[in-house]
Structure 1
Amino acid sequence: MCASVSFLSRALLTMGTAMRRAGYGVRLIVLATFVSVAPPPLHAAEGAPLEEAKPDRQIRNMDALSVVLLRATAPKDARSAATLGVQRQGSGIVIDNSGLILTIGYLILEADGIEVIPADGKAVPATMVGYDHATGFGLVRASAPLTIKPIELGDSATLPEREPVLIAGFDGVAPAYVVSKRQFAGFWEYLLDSAIFTAPATVNWSGAALIGRDGKLYGVGSLVVTDAVKPQTYSPGNMFVPIDLLKPILGDLIDTGRVSGPARPWIGVNTQEMQGHLVVTRVTRDGPAEKGGLKVGDIILRIGGQQIAGQVDFYRKLWSKGPAGTEIPLSVLQGAQMKDFVIQSMDRAKHVRTRTTY
């Protein structure tokens, strides 16, 4: 029989529980090779980049789908503690036979303690292998062998819109559709050219596996969003980082913990487009922008004398100025005054207190 039939039989074991948990009235029709799901509803609550960790929640891991529960603890003085918290919880995806586990990087950023928990509930210590700020991927390795079959990587470029998929997390499986594949700009100096968006929205998305009808891995869960179908339309869903972005950097992450070559310039601002303007909503403590004089509420107008046409344009112009360490000239409206600043950019990885073990 084809591989998708075996995949279906494993997934159906917990799908009913996952659907009841998610609260969606979705009708399943079992076909010869997969699951057909009724069109996703377009109403759900808005979320945030990281769901609240619930250590006492029942573990319903999916060993058959190569997913484990991942817990990480960051020190109280971690730079990311204010935004991501100290106790973090999400999913990890086993991708090789040596215990290498893929997850979304913010779960393990600056962590000094990591453990993975398979379906038997026995925690296994893990160490951080690598983290890539550009894609958001993180890798850890279990300290002992896991009796879990690794998942095969798919080709996310071939995953079409309206394709039925499964979202597999540590607490179960939820059916969904791919509703769009498009550019995604994050407020934290982050940009993906072709992120994968699914609907309906599911809980516990952090590090969840996006699995195609062939049982292969197509993406890693990153966010819950309110505009999955298209920008500026209320259509709650989830955003996944495409697995194709991992393939060219996987070797570097395993060998050195980071991607080879010059790092992008980073200045440490969160921004949001408001009424046609790019507004600074947060300045990273002790980051280049704070040291250079930028403040919350500033409006960034030009970079290197060039007008800025939104967040994406700002990122592209910023990263085109040179490698990390390049001076970034900005023209800013600060209060009622026009001011020019020169920000000394840096490698973002050098700002966080990452504890890496290779």
Structure 2
Amino acid sequence: MMKQWISAVFLTCTMSVSMFVMPAQAKDLPDFTELAEKQGPTVVNISITSVVHGGGGMGFPGMPNDENLQELLRRFGIPGMPGLPGQEGGQDYKTQSLGSGFIISSDGYILTNAHVVSEADEVLVKLSDKREFKAKIIGADKRTDVALIKIEATGLPKVVVGDPTTLKVGEWVAAIGSPFGLENTMTAGIVSAKGRALPQENYVPFIQTDVAINPGNSGGPLFNLRGEVVGVNSQIYSKSGGSMGLSFSIPIDVAIDISNQLKATGRISRGWLGIGIQEVTKDLADSFGLKQTSGALIAGVEKNSPADKGGLEVGDIILKFDGKPIVTSGDLPRVVASIKPGKVVPVEIVRKGASKTLQLGVGEMPNEQAEAPASSKEPSKPEANKIGLTLRELTPQQKKKLNGKNGLLVVESVGAAAQAGIRRGDVILGLNNNESQSVDLFNKQINAVAAGKTVAVLVLRGENTLYVPIKVSK
């Protein structure tokens, strides 16, 4: 009897604890219902129609001629379908794609992604109350993937703009958009990282989240729990085409700055220096005698650029720009681009181990960068040096292409140099901040380096210059 009583008490206590814990856990979870109710009307569905020339229809009577169907056929490897993009001949036809956006002013200005409305012949905006409007593209900036469009309406609900700099990793966020055309869909997750730099995306410090973002979500808002928009959903990493928990959003302060410029002038003005930069790796830091790996290493300076006129040199390491710390090389383009052209700013650098501060005037980024000199690949057969480079001096014509600068052509690369990535046709411009004036001088400098030490070789390849760290073998 006693045993049965103890069991009953244990069972009762267990049930009581369970009933106590479960509501506490539920209470700690965020409630998105109010956010969805209040902010849902600020989000719009965007339908884009584009005319493709030289198509011919899908070839299937009654089938819709849209982008999703074409992508499906491509994935299943169905070849030769008339009317698929990229095929020549036939008649013009229309394609449709979907995206999202959100209202930033009650008189009809809407933010979305540049890639959503690029190449659009017609943009149709659908509100949450089912009203539809044709939209005008005010402007789009491909570098940040931000676009501003306008519909003729008044009294519209608009978002409240938040501060993305106060976001914390692990904080709850939510997205509202039209994945696969399913309007006003909400998904939620957390901030996974901040200030992400993505390949070929130098001007946006992306917010990374694990919020489910799918095709059709592009251009939609990312909200914090206070109902403030903190980002514009832009990209996903996916091998399947669907969400894999790696989503990237443009910080709203970046997007608003771009939209203000587009609204005022229809174009974007960015600060520009005219330099090529790379990361300061541990090997490069060792070769320069530095203790830290922070900063942006200058690997090239364009002649007559703001950087050239301001006194920046190849081999300088920028630690602060206009008072803002440059922790990684990816920080510099964003900081420079945000500065108004014409402004003179302080630049803290390290040059050959010594700290300096320069006053530099920021230029305006041109639409197209000037073409850099290309390397020659004429053959020669000198002997390989200590790190495996077979070099020869440039001809007068080749030096002319380098604006009179000295350089050494890589005829062959083996051993340590080849393992480091230097290859035939590269031009060696310098070694550890020293200009490469001749093959003999370069080889003497290499021979003077103790075995096991790392040297930094400045290489010109095509249009780009970069420092390559090479460990001198024993």
In 2, the alpha carbon distance for the partners of 1:330 and 1:101 equals 43
Long gaps (5+) in structure 1: 1-27, 37-59, 228-234, 266-301, 344-358
Q: 1:67 aligns with which of 2, 18, 43?
A: 43
- For 2:110, the equivalent position in structure 1 comes to 101
Shift of the 122–200 alpha-carbon distance from structure 1 to 2, 3 Å rule, reads closer
Whether 1:223 and 2:235 are equivalent positions in the alignment is yes
- For 1:203, the equivalent position in structure 2 comes to 214
Q: 1:329 aligns with which of 359, 369, 372?
A: 372
- For 1:184, the equivalent position in structure 2 comes to 197
In 2, the alpha carbon distance for the partners of 1:101 and 1:121 equals 16
Long gaps (5+) in structure 2: 1-24, 54-84, 87-93, 275-298, 302-312, 316-327, 338-361, 378-422, 428-459, 464-474
For 1:154, the aligned partner's letter is G
Q: 1:112 aligns with which of 82, 96, 121?
A: 121
Whether 1:165 and 2:173 are equivalent positions in the alignment is yes
Whether 1:152 and 2:163 are equivalent positions in the alignment is no
For 1:186, the aligned partner's letter is P
**Superposition deviation, residue 303 in structure 1:** 4.8
Aligned length: 244
Deviations 1:257-283 (A, max 9, x none): 222467898xxxxxxxxxxxxxxxxxx
Shift of the 198–108 alpha-carbon distance from structure 1 to 2, 3 Å rule, reads same
**Superposition deviation, residue 206 in structure 1:** 0.6
For 2:234, the aligned partner's letter is S
1:182 aligns to what SS in structure 2? strand
In 1, the alpha carbon distance for the partners of 2:371 and 2:332 equals 12
In 1, the alpha carbon distance for the partners of 2:150 and 2:192 equals 33
Deviations 1:289-321 (A, max 9, x none): xxxxxxxxxxxxx755969xx9959979x9899
1:248 aligns to what SS in structure 2? helix
Shift of the 115–156 alpha-carbon distance from structure 1 to 2, 3 Å rule, reads same
The 5-angstrom pairing of residues 43-82 of structure 1 reads: 64-76=40-52
For 2:214, the aligned partner's letter is V
- For 1:243, the equivalent position in structure 2 comes to 252
For 2:119, the aligned partner's letter is E
* Greater Rg over alpha carbons, structure: 2
Do the aligned partners of 2:103 and 2:110 also contact (CA within 8 Å) in 1?
A: yes
In 2, the alpha carbon distance for the partners of 1:248 and 1:122 equals 29
Do the aligned partners of 1:64 and 1:149 also contact (CA within 8 Å) in 2?
A: no
For 2:190, the aligned partner's letter is Y
Do the aligned partners of 2:271 and 2:363 also contact (CA within 8 Å) in 1?
A: no
2:160 aligns to what SS in structure 1? coil
Do the aligned partners of 2:39 and 2:159 also contact (CA within 8 Å) in 1?
A: no
**Superposition deviation, residue 63 in structure 1:** 6.9
**Superposition deviation, residue 75 in structure 1:** 4.1
Shift of the 34–63 alpha-carbon distance from structure 1 to 2, 3 Å rule, reads closer
Shift of the 330–223 alpha-carbon distance from structure 1 to 2, 3 Å rule, reads farther
In 1, the alpha carbon distance for the partners of 2:268 and 2:104 equals 19
For 1:166, the aligned partner's letter is A
The 5-angstrom pairing of residues 275-294 of structure 1 reads: none
**Superposition deviation, residue 123 in structure 1:** 2.8
- For 1:56, the equivalent position in structure 2 comes to none
In 2, the alpha carbon distance for the partners of 1:311 and 1:202 equals 29
Counting aligned pairs with the same residue, the percent is 22
**Superposition deviation, residue 61 in structure 1:** 11
1:247 aligns to what SS in structure 2? helix
- For 1:295, the equivalent position in structure 2 comes to none
Cα RMSD between the aligned structures? 4.5
**Superposition deviation, residue 252 in structure 1:** 1.9
Q: 1:123 aligns with which of 106, 128, 132?
A: 132
**Superposition deviation, residue 136 in structure 1:** 1.7
Whether 1:175 and 2:196 are equivalent positions in the alignment is no
In 2, the alpha carbon distance for the partners of 1:253 and 1:263 equals 19
Deviations 1:225-256 (A, max 9, x none): 269xxxxxxx7321000001133343321122
**Superposition deviation, residue 176 in structure 1:** 0.9
Q: Could you say which structure has the higher helix fraction?
A: 2
In 1, the alpha carbon distance for the partners of 2:38 and 2:135 equals 19
- For 1:89, the equivalent position in structure 2 comes to 98
* TM-score, length-scaled by structure 1: 0.55
**Superposition deviation, residue 30 in structure 1:** 5.4
Do the aligned partners of 1:327 and 1:342 also contact (CA within 8 Å) in 2?
A: no
Do the aligned partners of 1:321 and 1:328 also contact (CA within 8 Å) in 2?
A: no
Shift of the 90–341 alpha-carbon distance from structure 1 to 2, 3 Å rule, reads same
Do the aligned partners of 2:41 and 2:128 also contact (CA within 8 Å) in 1?
A: no
Do the aligned partners of 1:262 and 1:323 also contact (CA within 8 Å) in 2?
A: yes
By relative contact order (CA 8 Å, sep 6+), the higher-ranking structure is: 1
For 1:175, the aligned partner's letter is A
Shift of the 183–264 alpha-carbon distance from structure 1 to 2, 3 Å rule, reads farther
For 1:236, the aligned partner's letter is G
For 1:212, the aligned partner's letter is N
**Superposition deviation, residue 122 in structure 1:** 4.0
**Superposition deviation, residue 150 in structure 1:** 0.6
